[in-house]
Amino acid sequence: METTFVELEGENDLSDEDKVLLEQARKATKEAYAPYSSFHVGAALRTKHGAVVRGSNFENASYPLCLCAERSAIAAARSAYGSPKIDCMAITASTDKAELSNPVTPCGACRQVLFEVEQIQGSPLKLILEGKNGKIWVLKTVSDLVPLAFDGTFLR
């Protein structure tokens, strides 16, 4: 099994619109509520029409009730714009407990939701993944992140 992504040395290798999106994801980390883990995650998505929507994680003492940044951004976009097609999502994180030299990747639940969004809209959803320092990973499609995804065909 293989997956495909591009590894960039830094944000200067991104297009201008992707740099803006990544900066919005960084801003979203500052809006995160993470008193338990100190792991602040920010996501920013861009719709096909150019709207940018941010989301950040919101922790709860009962961990299963936590909200992830990626799903928060998707829910906010759907609340604001109906069912917008999402062109791209940038995801980053910050913490004072670790270096984060590798790009952060979505948790399993968020991967599944992102895959479902890509399936619903019928077009690729590009992902830009960044850690606190270091390289950036760009995936052309969520399918590259979840090559053996569970989807609705299993339920028919």
CA distance 27 to 89: 14
- Total domains in the chain come to 1
User: What pLDDT score was predicted for residue 148?
Assistant: 87
User: What pLDDT score was predicted for residue 99?
Assistant: 83
The DSSP symbol for 59 reads: -
Angle at 86 between CA 84 and CA 88, to 5 degrees: 160
User: What pLDDT score was predicted for residue 25?
Assistant: 98
- The boundaries of the domain holding residue 122 are 6-155
User: What pLDDT score was predicted for residue 34?
Assistant: 98
Per-residue pLDDT in tens (0 to 9) along the chain, 156 residues: 788 999 999 999 999 999 999 999 999 999 999 999 999 999 999 999 999 999 999 999 998 999 999 999 999 999 999 999 999 999 999 998 888 889 999 999 999 999 999 999 999 999 999 997 779 999 999 999 998 889 888 998
- Residue 1, domain member (yes or no): no
CATH of the domain at 125: 3.40.140.10
CA distance 89 to 100: 19
pTM of the model: 0.95
3-class DSSP state of 6: strand
Measured over the CA atoms of residue 63, residue 60, residue 45 and residue 120, the dihedral's sign is: positive
Q: CB count, 10 Å around CB of 27?
A: 14
User: What pLDDT score was predicted for residue 138?
Assistant: 98
Is 70 a residue of the active site? yes
The DSSP symbol for 43 reads: E
| Residue where the block lists tokens 């992504």 | 5
User: What pLDDT score was predicted for residue 3?
Assistant: 86
Angle at 53 between CA 50 and CA 56, to 5 degrees: 155
- Residue 51, domain member (yes or no): yes
Strand arrangement, sheet containing 6-8: 6-8, 136-139, 126-130, 86-94, 40-47, 52-56
- Candidate list 7, 23, 70, 130, residue with the active-site label: 70
- Residue 107, domain member (yes or no): yes
- Residue 33, domain member (yes or no): yes
